[in-house]
Structure 1
Amino acid sequence: MLTGRVVRFDEVRGYGFITPDDGGDDVFVHANTVDGDKWAMTPGVPVEYEAVDSDRGPKALTVRVLGAGERAGSSARVGTPAAARGREPGQVGGPDDEEGLCDVLSERAFSAETTEALLTGVPDLTGAQIVAVRSRILALARGHGWVEG
């Protein structure tokens, strides 16, 4: 297995790039090749991967996150998708939440969950409509302190 660090990853488009630790060209990575938590694919996160050469350059076949690039002092659950926390998006509480309180998400995670909810709930929305609705919901969330950042 090779090792490297995530340079960038666009969860909306479902792909990004890894810089190999041993140097060389950046390696293309598609979301479907990530083993485990795709939300952890943030810049600087160490990964191990297998790669092959393609007509456009190196391409990752399997990728495993070695560490999560969480901010110092942040909760391990901040920014983790609801499904990964053992509940459906929008569901308050969970197996480890005795008080029934909801998590405070990063703006990025909140936007991603909102986008997923809109795509799943109203699949015929246009991209522009999703962006407009998501922006308004994010402003509402900021006003209520539902997101951090």
Structure 2
Amino acid sequence: MLTGRVVRFDEVRGYGFIAPDGGGDDVFVHANTVDGDKWALGPGVPVEYEAVENERGPKALTVRVLGPAVAGERTAPVRTVAPSTGRGHESGQGGLEDEEGLCDVLSERSFVTETTEALLISVPDLTGAQIVAVRARMLALARRHGWVEG
């Protein structure tokens, strides 16, 4: 078995790429080849896999997640804002937070609206189905962490 780290993974399309620990070309990985929770794949996640060569390059046959993403692999900061002032600042962990460490708790409707706007601005060529899928996943995450109410 080979080891590596996920470089990127598109949950909507169900595929991504692994950077082998030993170097070389990135390895294509499809969600159907993941043993266990395919939602665990994301940048920096260590994996173990078997691969074969095909006409497009290396392709993973079986993939097993070895642990959580490595610290420092985050690609975007988390924005936290003080409810009293509506202001935030960058924290040492890469996010924005106020002096008290408080954040805005949005209504689900506001969260969905802001998420949609962010997706449209950041990746304007996403399809409607992709936006709906990403929004649903983000809303589930926000519910689990208490970032939304309602």
TM, length-normalised to structure 2:
0.51
Q: CA deviation at 1:68?
A: 1.7
Query: 1:5 maps to what in 2?
Result: 5
CA distance in structure 1 between the aligned counterparts of 2:53 and 2:59, rounded to whole angstroms: 6
Aligned identity (percent) is 71
Tell me which amino acid in the other structure corresponds to 1:10. D
Tell me which amino acid in the other structure corresponds to 2:38. K
Query: Superposition pairs for residues 9-88 of structure 1, below 5 Å?
Result: 9-69=9-69
Tell me which amino acid in the other structure corresponds to 2:128. A
CA distance in structure 1 between the aligned counterparts of 2:40 and 2:10, rounded to whole angstroms: 12
Tell me which amino acid in the other structure corresponds to 1:12. V
How has the CA–CA distance of structure 1 residues 129 and 68 changed in structure 2, closer, same or farther, with 3 Å as cutoff?
closer
Unpaired runs of at least 5, structure 2: 73-110, 113-126
Between Structure 1 and Structure 2, whose CA radius of gyration is higher? 2
Q: How many residues align?
A: 91
CA distance in structure 2 between the aligned counterparts of 1:17 and 1:11, rounded to whole angstroms: 12
Which of structure 1's runs of 4+ aligned residues deviate more than 4 A? 132-135
Query: Superposition pairs for residues 125-136 of structure 1, below 5 Å?
Result: 127-128=127-128, 131=131, 134=135
How has the CA–CA distance of structure 1 residues 67 and 128 changed in structure 2, closer, same or farther, with 3 Å as cutoff?
same
Residue by residue over 1:1-24, the C-alpha shift from the partner in whole angstroms, topping out at 9 and shown as x without a partner, is 000000000010000000000000
Tell me which amino acid in the other structure corresponds to 1:145. W
Mapped pair 1:145 → 2:147: yes
Residue by residue over 1:37-82, the C-alpha shift from the partner in whole angstroms, topping out at 9 and shown as x without a partner, is 111101011100000001000000000000022879xxxxxxxxxx
Unpaired runs of at least 5, structure 1: 73-109, 112-126
Query: Superposition pairs for residues 94-105 of structure 1, below 5 Å?
Result: none
How has the CA–CA distance of structure 1 residues 2 and 132 changed in structure 2, closer, same or farther, with 3 Å as cutoff?
closer
SS of 1:131 mapped into structure 2: helix
CA contact 2:44–2:70 (8 Å) conserved in 1 = no
Query: 2:124 maps to what in 1?
Result: none
Residue by residue over 1:103-147, the C-alpha shift from the partner in whole angstroms, topping out at 9 and shown as x without a partner, is xxxxxxx98xxxxxxxxxxxxxxx527736948x95xx79x8338
Tell me which amino acid in the other structure corresponds to 2:39. W
